[in-house]
Amino acid sequence: MNKLNKLERHWVMYDVANSAFVLLATTIIPIYFKNLASASGVASYDSTAYISYAAAIVTIAVAILGPTIGTIADTKGYKKPIFTAFLLLGCICCVIMPTMTSWLGFLVLFIFAKIGMSSSIILNDSMLVDVTEPSRMDMLSTKGYAWGYIGSCVPFIISLVLILKCDSIGLSSTTATIIAFIITAVWWFTFSIPILKSYQQIHYVKKEAHAIRKSFIRLGKFAKTIKHKKKLYLFLFAFFFYIDGVYTIINLATSYGKDVGISDSNLLLALLLTQIVAFPCALIFGRLSSKYKPVNIIKVCIVGYFGIAVFALQLDRTWEFWLLAVAVAVFQGAIQSMSRSYFAKIIPKHESSEYFGFYDIFGKGATFFGAMLMGISTQIFSSSRAGVAALALLFPLGYYFLCKSEKADEITYDEEVN
């Protein structure tokens, strides 16, 4: 049955919550930053590189924090407080960010906001093993992404109207932007309240003396033993490569669109369309996961994204950007949700935060590599297209390692009883 119980609904609501900031970070924030930097005399290709480097810094920070906080959060009673702390960090920085008049100050706060968001998502993903059964993980994960896409449209549309129509409603563009950021932060926190109230950590490592020190010991043991878990590490290699292209395309689409001459309004409206189209597509792929192996769905999405990257190389018309936005929407939710639920099925539940911390290292490590690749290539060749060309090559590598992982022996774990 696909009907969600109360706890499952509350878990899905956090995808609705954080997706509001994700959409802001991939649409309004890059445009606002590039306009802010342009006003200070920064060249367009340099500002694209700078926001790429900011994404890379976030990646390094979360790659270091992820496994550490994940391992600590596996201790009984620790997961919810740590989750709450990073949630508040993201929301507070989101409110303060648009008050900065310096492009550098804005970028620093953006980095901290994304660290808060990314770290909270690691812990929310790890909650999947506590809120549902393995047989429902694919369905629940896709519903999380699907409702996140459509739910995030509400604060985004309000923000879009405020920014695009600020003159007619008597607001300055700066005031309208500040209000848009506040709306996003309030939405983010409000829709996080249900999971904060109802979540209980079922699978955990028992609380001991010196829990933080022992968490680091467990972290070291994990690093030593992962090489013996062939299916797991091959999947993580595959994930590193294909999600690299996915996240970089999502994060830098607006910057790339501006560089090839797409207007701000068309960029924002096209990416709004992406969220709307992504909603039914994620649900459709969720239903398909009951008939087809999730790993095969991931393969289809990798091929789709490779085609998207190749098509983007010649993009120079507005209608092409709209077409590209729809194509991204078709595969975006499926590749992320199927990866999340597939990984949740092949890890030990009582160490889910620790494993998702490493999962995030590979995801964020990929983002670092992709962002740096995009930034360096853009500056060397003074063109964003060079970075996109390099990104396209990562999808075949991801496909190769995914096939290798699929052929590896299944992982089984003897779960300890808490």
pLDDT per position as a tens digit, 305-344: 999 888 887 777 778 888 888 888 888 878 888 888 888 8
More confident residue, 360 or 110: 110
The token duo for 343 is: 């990984």
Computed over its alpha carbons, how large is the radius of gyration of the chain? 20
Closest CA to 388 of 256, 268, 251: 256
CA distances from 414 to 129, 281, 296, 349 (A): 15, 36, 27, 10
For domain 7-201+212-407, give its CATH number from 3.40.366.10, 1.10.287.80, 3.10.20.90, 1.20.1250.20: 1.20.1250.20
How far is the C-alpha of 373 from the C-alpha of 378, rounded, in Å? 8
What's the confidence (pLDDT) of residue 413?
A: 44
pLDDT of 359 > 90? The answer is no
Q: For 104-134, what is each residue's pLDDT tens digit?
A: 999 999 999 999 998 898 888 888 888 888 8
Provide long-range contacts, Cβ within 8 A and 24+ apart, for 164-172.
164/265, 164/268
φ, ψ for residue 62, nearest 5 deg: -75, -30
206-232 burial: b if 16+ Cβ within 10 Å, else e: eeeeebeebbeebbeebeeeeeebebb
- Average pLDDT score over the chain: 81
Give, as one character, the DSSP assignment of residue 76.
T
364 near 372, Cβ under 8 Å? Answer: no
The token duo for 92 is: 């507070």
What's the confidence (pLDDT) of residue 417?
A: 38
Confidence grade of residue 3 (pLDDT, cut at 50, 70, 90): confident
pLDDT of 219 > 70? The answer is no
Q: What angle do CA 325, 326, 331 make, to 5 degrees?
A: 100
How far is the C-alpha of 231 from the C-alpha of 402, rounded, in Å? 9
Domain boundaries of the chain, sorted by first residue: 7-201+212-407
**Average pLDDT of the residues in 52-78:** 78
More confident residue, 349 or 97: 97
pLDDT of 10 > 90? The answer is yes
More confident residue, 174 or 84: 84
Single-letter code of the amino acid located at 332: Q
Percent of the chain with pLDDT over 70: 83
More confident residue, 206 or 341: 341
Single-letter code of the amino acid located at 172: S
What's the confidence (pLDDT) of residue 344?
A: 81
**Average pLDDT of the residues in 288-303:** 88
How far is the C-alpha of 237 from the C-alpha of 359, rounded, in Å? 10
* Dihedral (CA of 167, 172, 177, 180) sign: negative
- SS3 for 256? helix
pLDDT of 411 > 70? The answer is no
Query: Which residues neighbour 107 within 8 Å (Cβ) at sequence distance 6 or greater?
Result: 33, 50, 51, 54
Pick the most confident of 43-47, 367-371, 392-396. Answer: 392-396
How far is the C-alpha of 152 from the C-alpha of 139, rounded, in Å? 20
The token duo for 380 is: 């060397």
Query: Which residues neighbour 104 within 8 Å (Cβ) at sequence distance 6 or greater?
Result: none
φ, ψ for residue 205, nearest 5 deg: -95, 135
Give, as one character, the DSSP assignment of residue 57.
H
- SS3 for 413? coil
Confidence grade of residue 383 (pLDDT, cut at 50, 70, 90): low
How far is C-alpha 82 from the geometric centre of its chain's CA atoms? 19
How far is the C-alpha of 355 from the C-alpha of 371, rounded, in Å? 24
Q: How many residues does the chain have?
A: 418
The token duo for 280 is: 């039914």
What's the confidence (pLDDT) of residue 93?
A: 96
How far is C-alpha 277 from the geometric centre of its chain's CA atoms? 18
Confidence grade of residue 217 (pLDDT, cut at 50, 70, 90): low
**Predicted structure pTM score:** 0.70
CA distances from 307 to 125, 285, 301, 395, 413 (A): 29, 19, 10, 10, 38
How far is the C-alpha of 18 from the C-alpha of 117, rounded, in Å? 7
